[in-house]
Structure 1
Amino acid sequence: MEESMPLGQLARRLEEVVSELRGLPVDVERLEDGELVRRRIVEAAATAREVRAMQPVGPAETERHEHTSRRENLDALARGLRMRTIVHAGVLDEPRKMARIRQLHAAGDLHRVVDQPIQQLVIFDRTVAFLQFTPVAYSPGALAIRQQSLITALIDLFEQTWERAREVTEPARRLSSREREVLALIAEGRSNGAVARALSITEAAVGKHVASLFTKLEIPATADDNRRVLAVLAYLRGTAR
Structure 2
Amino acid sequence: MEESVPLAQLARRLEEVVSDLRGLPVDVERLEDNALVRRRISEAAVSAREVRAMHPVGVSDTARNEHTSRRENLDALERGTRMRTIVHATVLDDPIRAARIRQLHAAGDLHRVVDEPVQQLVIFDRTLAFLRLTPVPYAPGALAIRQQSLITALIDLFERTWARAREVTEPTRRLSAREREVLALIAEGRSNSAVARALSITEAAVGKHVASLFAKLEIPATADDNRRVLAVLAYLRGTAR
What SS does the aligned partner of 2:97 have? helix
Corresponding residue number in structure 1 for 2:17 = 21
What do the CA deviations read for 1:128-148 (whole angstroms, capped 9, x no partner)?
A: 111112132243211111110
CA positional deviation for 1:61: 2.3
Verify the 8 A CA contact 1:77 1:107 in the aligned structure 2.
yes
Give the superposition deviation at 1:219. 10
Q: Distance in 1 between matches of 2:208 and 2:143?
A: 38
Matched residue, 1:51: 51
Corresponding residue for residue 192 of structure 2: none
Hey, what's the Cα distance between the residues in 2 that align with 1:80 and 1:108?
A: 10
Q: Retained in 2: the 8 A contact 1:131–1:144? A: yes
- Cα deviation, residue 47, structure 1: 1.1
> How many residues are treated as equivalent by the alignment?
216
- Residue 238 of structure 1 aligns with an amino acid whose one-letter code is G
The yes-or-no answer on 1:109 pairing with 2:105 is no
User: Which residue matches 1:99?
Assistant: 99
* Partners of 1:41 and 1:152 in 2: CA distance: 19
Deviation at 1:178, TM superposition (A): 3.9
Q: Percent identity?
A: 67
CA contact (8 A) 2:175 2:240 kept: no
Q: Hey, what's the Cα distance between the residues in 2 that align with 1:74 and 1:65?
A: 14
2:183 and 2:9 map into 1 onto residues whose CA distance is: 17
CA distance in 2, matches of 1:15, 1:185: 31
Instruction: Deviation per CA, 1:35-78: give whole Å up to 9, x if none.
Output: 11111101111111000000112254222111111111111111
Match of 1:139 in 2: 139
Which deviates the most, 152-161 or 209-218? Answer: 209-218
Rg larger in 1 or in 2? 2
TM-score by length of 2: 0.74
For 2:13 and 2:109, locate their aligned partners in 1 and report how far apart those are by CA, in whole Å: 26
Distance 1:184 1:66 in 2: 36
**1:175 aligned residue:** 174
1:162 aligns with 2:158: no
* Closer, same or farther: CA 207–38 of 1 in aligned 2, 3 Å: farther
Instruction: Tell me whether 1:32 sits opposite 2:28 in the alignment.
Output: no
Cross-structure match for 1:152: 152
Distance (whole Å) between structure 1 residues aligned to residue 215 and residue 99 of structure 2: 28
- Partner deviation per Cα, 1:68-105 (whole Å, 9 max, x = no partner): 11111111111111100001100110012101101110
SS in 1 for 2:52: strand
User: Which one-letter code corresponds to 2:174 in the other structure?
Assistant: L
CA distance in 2 between counterparts of 1:149 and 1:100 reads 34
Cα RMSD between the aligned structures?
A: 3.8
Matches within 5 A, 1:1-20: 18-20=14-16
Structure 1: runs of 5 or more not aligned: 6-10, 190-201
The residue that corresponds to 1:77 in the other structure is: 77
Residue 196 of structure 1 corresponds to which residue in structure 2? none
Q: Distance in 2 between matches of 1:99 and 1:137?
A: 22
Q: For 1:184 and 1:208, locate their aligned partners in 2 and report how far apart those are by CA, in whole Å.
A: 11
| Aligned amino acid, residue 129 of structure 2 | A
